[in-house]
Chain A
């Protein structure tokens, strides 16, 4: 079992709909959780981070963390074609960041 797991996709969502991306992790001691977006051929860039159980909202993005079930999710409301990218989940374990393989999201106009 990988330490951080994501569905590789692709996940296809119509423009204007809600895109839901999920990530599960195995280390119960993990404290910090991150969502990064990576366009093809580019570097990852931070979308959101979350430390506490519950929801955290930033514009069209909402991160949800459930430590008991060991999953973290990212919701993208009013999806735009520019949201088409690979979304990487990362979990802080001690002094390291452990990354999922990413979910490819395609927003269809």
Chain B
């Protein structure tokens, strides 16, 4: 089954404790993205990757890091989480940004 998986689905953590949210896709897609979704603000792109070892900042990259060492995986790293990073996070993949984006199930992060 073609899918994008994210883990964990829910995470409550404390300020400053490093965390990683994993994302994996099995569709051999080149393009992968991370978004955060906040009420009234819609989806905002954090980082995207056009292919292995090629990543770039989206509109809200501050406080986040990513890596793309393998085509299927695109982890999101929060080195020192802060409460303003409390949000719903989605990973997505596609052949290209001009094609349909396939979304993971989301990760709800709470930073206290």
Contact = CB atoms under 8 A, between A and B. Distances in A.
Interface of A: 4, 8, 31-32, 34, 36, 42-46, 49, 88, 90, 92, 94-102
A32 B100 contact: no
B42 A31 contact: no
Contacts of B103: 43-45
Size band of the interface chain B makes with A: 20 to 34
Given A95-B48, A97-B33, A46 B43 contact: no
B62 interface: no
The listed residue with most A CB atoms (<10 A of its CB), out of B31, B48, B100, B101, is B101
The listed residue with most B CB atoms (<10 A of its CB), out of A34, A43, A44, A94, is A43
B8 interface: no
B40 A8 contact: yes
Interface string B80-111: 00000000001000000110110111100000
B42 A101 contact: yes
Contacts of A31: 98
B29 interface: no
A85 to B, nearest CB: 14
The listed residue with most A CB atoms (<10 A of its CB), out of B33, B42, B100, B104, is B42
A84 B15 CA distance: 37
Contact of A96 (B97, B104, B105, B106): B97
